[in-house]
Amino acid sequence: MSENKNCINVDVETTYLTDESDPSKARYLFAYTITIKNNGQESARLLSRYWKITGGDGHEQEVEGDGVVGVHPYLAPEQEFTYTSAAMLDTPVGMMQGHYKMVTDTGDRFEVNIPAFTLAVPRTLH
């Protein structure tokens, strides 16, 4: 894996899904919307994803898979791709972090780090 000289930026927005959660059964569902933008000079395709999801109790789960939401987005310079997915926690607060594996048209493979972001039921954090 080479360094991310491709300048792929990742932006994350999270939403607590009240209607689909059940705190009495320790079920807290969060949607996350991710925008991946290619600010580099080379086109690249997203091959796979890796997530580490950590609940407020320290319980960790790892998720790996092919592409995102069933696709392998191809991003030419200045293009972006947005998708929404979800994560279930058994605590009202948690976090996610991970990376995407990508490849350029010339076959260079690289990882795009996704820094940790918080999943929290509104008004649980100050």
Cβ of 101: how many Cβ atoms within 10 Å?
Answer: 16
Mean pLDDT of the chain: 93
Q: Which domains does the chain have, with CATH numbers?
A: 8-120 (2.60.40.1470)
Q: Tell me the pLDDT tens digit for each residue of 78-119.
A: 999 999 999 999 999 999 999 999 999 999 999 999 999 999
Query: What whole-number distance in Å separates Cα of residue 20 and Cα of residue 86?
Result: 11
Residue in the structure block whose two tokens are 């000289």 = 5
Bigger pLDDT: 6 vs 13:
13
**DSSP β-bridge partners for residue 59:** none
Nearest to 35 by CA among 70, 69, 82: 82
Q: Tell me the pLDDT tens digit for each residue of 49-64.
A: 999 999 999 999 999 9
